[in-house]
Homo-oligomer: A and B are copies of this chain.
């Protein structure tokens, strides 16, 4: 199916080509949209992004095929909303973890690590949707945008905390580069777990990321040569 990026915007805002009544947002309307989005997430996770069909989604939602047309301009929009939803929940989980970790930047970093590999931030469903997204983003501006914004804000937060820890410890680091290394390692673990869950387990991934932070933020020896 072709990701039609013109309808990537929110349904409410978009003016699609063929006139379509905007269906004012009632209580039940929101509920159905949500039902379908959740079903889409489950369905992607189950059969894969390529194999999802309107049929498989509506079956997962317990509704008939035709319903989708009442709440979304089409399959593409629904899928996009589903991915957006996952991205939003990932971001929310991170923020919540940071908030819960208290003010200490070191604690916060490790809280982010934990949140990155344990529910509700990391779940099999979310991870597989996310990885499906990464595998398609290159050819879909809308998905790429979702990808960019999640990591951009994640990365910024990480860099900020790293800077503070480094300052606390008197360590000098290139925070931007370190944050980049960190986010891509996390990304790599997500992808790895999805593609090869035997070799890459969430627990090990979490431990590895904690270790990376410590490696990065430990005080170097006098003779240290690292850049």
Contacts and interface: CB of A to CB of B under 8 A. Distances in A.
Contact of A223 (B48, B138, B196, B219): B219
B151 A199 contact: yes
A144 interface: yes
A49 interface: yes
Interface stretch (A107-115, A160-168, A200-208): A200-208
A31 interface: no
Interface residues of A, number: 62
A191 to B, nearest CB: 5
A67 interface: no
A180 B208 contact: yes
Nearest to A180: B208
A38 B160 CA distance: 44
Nearest to A212: B181
B148 A138 contact: no
Nearest to A131: B135
Interface string A200-222: 10001101101110111011111
B196 A147 contact: yes
A227 B211 contact: yes
Interface in A149-192: 151-152, 177, 180-181, 183-189, 191-192
A61 B225 CA distance: 50
Contacts of A140: 48
Contact of A221 (B135, B185, B192, B218): B218
Interface of A: 1-3, 47-51, 128, 131-140, 143-144, 147-148, 151-152, 177, 180-181, 183-189, 191-192, 194-196, 199-200, 204-205, 207-208, 210-212, 214-216, 218-227
